[in-house]
Structure 1
Amino acid sequence: MSVRKGKGPVFDPGLCRCCGSMKKCRLLNVEYECSGQKEVYSDMMMDCFGLLLSHLDGKPTERLVCATCVIRLRDAFSFRQQVLRCEEAFLQVKVYDSENNERHMQMEEALVEGGPKIEVEVIKVEPEDVSDNISDTGGPSEDALADAADDETKPDLAQDDSNDDLPLIHSKRKISRRPLPPEPSKVKKSENVVRTTPTGHNVALKNYNMPMSKVQQLIRERDPTYMTETNILTIVEFSYVCPFKCRHNHLLCYYCGQVFSDPQLLREHTINSHHPKKFKVTEHKNMIKIDLTRIDCRLCPVKINDLEEFKRHIVTTHKKKYYFDFKDSVLPFRLTKEEIKCALCNVIFPYFHALNKHMNEHFSNYVCETCGLGFVDKGRFVMHQQRHDQGDFPCETCGKMFKAEYNRDLHIDRVHRKRGRVYCPKCDIKLMSYPQKLKHLVEAHGEQPLSFPCTMCEKVCETRRTLTIHWRKDHLKDFRYECQCCGQKFFTRFALNNHMPTHTGERNYKCKVCEKCYPRLKTLKDHMRIHTNDRRYRCHICAQAFIQNCSLKGHMKSQHPEYG
């Protein structure tokens, strides 16, 4: 069976050409997309290993590769790209070093007797004062250069007829005499070396060998990920911004994962409990969420309220490294308990999850080619793309179709395998749903039941999700799904789909017993209770039972009108 996922087809199951396993496979010579990058696996194999695979123009089922082999191939391809970047940087350094070594050798040869005569820079310094005039870096000190500049005549130069035309400092001079090597104790190993000429001058020769730390830095700066990560670390380490994670409407400490409902408590916990030098970028493919309520500089008492101002301050005042040509990959928020407002456009939202979704409008790192919507991170982008693949994931047991593979697997575990997916944090039990987990924590572990009161009415909800739905539906009137035929609006897409048969007249749900058709699945399920004699609606007065709720209501009106 072949289904489509992303740009190319997926075969499940299929025989992998690389490992011989029967798994879900992709085509070797068809273009797919990963993290916004196009990839053709046969071309990647040719680039990495020089392997030219055969029969790539045959049947699709004969040119497949499984997901496991694709991951290994991506790792190999990434490693190859990394080696090429480092090699390019290394060769560039070697070319630079070779040019300067050639200049260095020419200077050395100029000081050797009988060597070719070339021009070198000469610094006139008293021989007996060499040790006093060498700076900590190994070269002549600034005071020595200044003294040499002020002293315009020296006896040794005046008495040497061959040096009458020699300028006193930084002059070009043809030298062909063997130098006297300086004492090791008087010249430190450094970038600049001072050599004494037979005429009594000290010649400063620059050592052009580049240190390995500089070479490593040049290689690192070939990788855009390094610059992006450095920018994030600079912001977090030298400012008071608060990095955090989120799970729906919950705020989590970035370092330890502790949950907070009050942003102020999250900020205090982060500053008091975690040192910024322990911050590590763990989500390289996602933008790091940071709270900008307090920025300020950790290195000085300057108060800063703007992130761009802080970047300029940390570079100009404290000489820290920041790559302005590369994005810092941070998602800015200003979190307050009273109102949830976008830090970029000041739009107010009723709950954090809505604000987090709104950030897609400001940072469109991944763009859907089908509808043009942009998304912050890859996870949101992949989930959105699955919406365009209608009915690609059927349940093999009951035939029900799902938009996303995750939803299909969740359905199989819950309905057919009766296997839970929600873990209890205090024991190894897995529950079927989040409400069951809350109930289990109260009954089995004695925790206090959670309650989420609505701030606009007296309703109290058991979960935050229930409160969010109540908020949107009852107070915000957020009915975003509109019928194109009559203009009626609905709270969910499911409600809109249930409404559409009133216009189309479709009856797609057929009873397998009597072959009667219904427009909605719920109506068919209610009808099936007739064949199973499921009388679940019972009158609390006379105990008579009914199959449908409408039958019970009719019974109450006719037989017990006094209770109506």
Structure 2
Amino acid sequence: MRGKLRRNDNLTSEKTLFKQTLSNLRQIILCSNATPIRRSIGRKYLCSFCTERFPSPAELKEHNLNEHFKDLATKERKVIDEIVKCIPRTGKSKTSIKLDITSFTCTLCGSPINDIAELYKHLKSTHNGLLHTDIKNLMIQFKFDSDQLSCYVCSKEFSAFSCLVEHMNTHVTNYKCNECPSAFVVWDRLKDHQKKTHNVGSFKCTLCLKVFKTKTKLYLHGRNVHKKGETKCNHCGEAFPTRWEKQKHELKQHDVSVAIFKKVKCDACEREFNNVGSYNAHFRRFHLMERSHKCDRCDMTFFESRDLKRHLVKHGEEKKFVCDFCSKAFKWKRILREHLRIHTDDRRFKCKRCGLGFVQKITWRGHMRTKHGEMV
């Protein structure tokens, strides 16, 4: 009985939080140019108030401001009657409320605003707004001020909006898991996580009868082994486990390209890249010289965490990877593999200008730079 009472009490508090959040959301939309995003499907962003879909957040924002919020009176009526369309109706939201705050301003006085927290302070101090400021934040915010999807808090970049939404759980940590570092914006996401990840039992695959300890492991098995949720090529019907693999196939076999595969040329060094994401990473690494990962044992800094992990091996003593030919030992297995090419005379890196072959890529690059004046 006590457990039941606690669950009921928790349900009541979640419903109260939902109502207070809805009240705040009403004020945000009435008093600012923030626009809600229901969700994304593929590369389309869905309007919260109608069935329209748009290829970019900017077009969705323009649609909202022009069609649904033409003036304050229209805005008021829409907010009262239809605002619940942008969030689940249950009182226990499984999904967070997603708001586009690009070029954020107060529409009552035109003041520029940085984020929702600053808007709350501004509305209370300047316009006597009635807001709930002592509640958990169920809203996550996005700024689409560049071509690359990125987190407005930490600037980390993403290839899909769904990945960015998932990442925001690291910044809005309302509900934390007691068994691992994971945290979530909404309560039900935490419950789903605990049920799938930490609920240990016997979960049997219906296709091959293998048994797994958690539902997450069973799901990954089904996706990777049996290709559940696979996507098919629109031209030949071949199936792929991910949309990324399908798109690469369509580009190679059917010459059908999408925006992520359009070639981009670097203006600084004239290198060409197969997509915008690769170009952005290159530019930040080699031209902006971003180095946010610092070694705590020396002064070295690195662009990616995996580069730092490789570097940390240098501070260790053990060399456990030994060459069978000459007994030379290495700290990294990757270096041993490269070393073995010397014994097998594997000159896989060929110069297209003079035909010379090289064992290591770095040697080939040095040759191309010094002998032919090319940066590769």
TM-score by length of 2: 0.54
2:37 touches 2:86 (CA, 8 Å); kept in 1? no
Task: Please name the residue that 1:12 is paired with.
Answer: none
Task: Please name the residue that 2:35 is paired with.
Answer: 242
- What SS does the corresponding residue of 1:244 show, helix, strand or coil? strand
Task: Please name the residue that 1:287 is paired with.
Answer: 96
Task: Please name the residue that 1:230 is paired with.
Answer: 19
Task: Please name the residue that 2:308 is paired with.
Answer: 496
Shift of 1:338: 9.5
Task: Please name the residue that 2:211 is paired with.
Answer: none
* Distance (Å, rounded) in 2 between the aligned partners of 1:334 and 1:563: 44
- What SS does the corresponding residue of 1:477 show, helix, strand or coil? coil
Which residue type is aligned with residue 225 of structure 1?
E
CA 1:325–1:503: 2 relative to 1, 3 Å: closer
Task: Please name the residue that 2:45 is paired with.
Answer: 252
Deviations for 1:81-133, whole angstroms, at most 9, x for unmatched residues? 48x74xx9xxxxxxxxxxxxxxxxxxxxxxxxxxxxxxxxxxxxxxxxxxxxx
Task: Please name the residue that 1:517 is paired with.
Answer: 329
Shift of 1:253: 3.1
Shift of 1:246: 7.7
Match runs of 1:56-75 below 5 Å: none
Task: Please name the residue that 2:249 is paired with.
Answer: 440
CA 1:314–1:438: 2 relative to 1, 3 Å: farther
User: Aligned pair 1:329/2:138, yes or no?
Assistant: yes
CA 1:230–1:520: 2 relative to 1, 3 Å: same
1:229 touches 1:281 (CA, 8 Å); kept in 2? no
1:244 touches 1:254 (CA, 8 Å); kept in 2? yes
Shift of 1:289: 2.2
Shift of 1:491: 1.4
CA 1:430–1:529: 2 relative to 1, 3 Å: farther
- What SS does the corresponding residue of 2:337 show, helix, strand or coil? helix
* Distance (Å, rounded) in 2 between the aligned partners of 1:422 and 1:470: 31
**Pick from 61, 85, 107: which aligns with 1:278?**
85
* Distance (Å, rounded) in 2 between the aligned partners of 1:510 and 1:476: 38
* Distance (Å, rounded) in 1 between the aligned partners of 2:267 and 2:355: 40
Match runs of 1:115-194 below 5 Å: none
Shift of 1:359: 6.7
1:420 touches 1:430 (CA, 8 Å); kept in 2? no
* Distance (Å, rounded) in 2 between the aligned partners of 1:324 and 1:467: 41
Relative contact order, higher structure (CA 8 A, sep 6+)? 2
1:535 touches 1:546 (CA, 8 Å); kept in 2? yes
Deviations for 1:55-91, whole angstroms, at most 9, x for unmatched residues? xxxxxxxxxxxxxxxxxxxxxx7xx348x74xx9xxx
CA 1:425–1:294: 2 relative to 1, 3 Å: farther
* Distance (Å, rounded) in 2 between the aligned partners of 1:242 and 1:432: 34
* Distance (Å, rounded) in 1 between the aligned partners of 2:134 and 2:239: 48
* Distance (Å, rounded) in 1 between the aligned partners of 2:297 and 2:151: 35
Deviations for 1:481-520, whole angstroms, at most 9, x for unmatched residues? 2233331111122222322343334313245787653221
1:435 touches 1:463 (CA, 8 Å); kept in 2? no
* Distance (Å, rounded) in 2 between the aligned partners of 1:348 and 1:549: 34
Question: Where in structure 1 are there 5+ consecutive unaligned residues?
Answer: 1-46, 49-76, 89-220, 297-301, 317-321, 387-404
Shift of 1:266: 1.9
1:507 touches 1:518 (CA, 8 Å); kept in 2? yes
2:86 touches 2:97 (CA, 8 Å); kept in 1? no
Which residue type is aligned with residue 45 of structure 2?
L
Shift of 1:423: 3.6
CA 1:517–1:340: 2 relative to 1, 3 Å: closer
1:243 touches 1:253 (CA, 8 Å); kept in 2? no
Which range is displaced more, 480-489 or 330-339? 330-339
- What SS does the corresponding residue of 2:98 show, helix, strand or coil? strand
- What SS does the corresponding residue of 2:20 show, helix, strand or coil? helix
Which residue type is aligned with residue 230 of structure 1?
K
- What SS does the corresponding residue of 1:522 show, helix, strand or coil? helix
Task: Please name the residue that 1:32 is paired with.
Answer: none
**Pick from 61, 76, 95: which aligns with 1:267?**
61
* Distance (Å, rounded) in 2 between the aligned partners of 1:233 and 1:326: 12
> Which structure's CA Rg is the greater one?
1
CA 1:252–1:535: 2 relative to 1, 3 Å: same
CA 1:491–1:562: 2 relative to 1, 3 Å: closer
Which residue type is aligned with residue 483 of structure 1?
C
Which residue type is aligned with residue 93 of structure 2?
H
Shift of 1:440: 3.0
Deviations for 1:208-257, whole angstroms, at most 9, x for unmatched residues? xxxxxxxxxxxxx971221222234445567354122788xx88336569
* Distance (Å, rounded) in 2 between the aligned partners of 1:304 and 1:231: 26
TM-score by length of 1: 0.39
Percent identity between the aligned chains?
21
Shift of 1:469: 1.6
CA 1:539–1:456: 2 relative to 1, 3 Å: closer
* Distance (Å, rounded) in 2 between the aligned partners of 1:252 and 1:440: 25
- What SS does the corresponding residue of 1:243 show, helix, strand or coil? strand
Task: Please name the residue that 2:320 is paired with.
Answer: 508
* Distance (Å, rounded) in 2 between the aligned partners of 1:516 and 1:332: 54
Shift of 1:328: 5.3
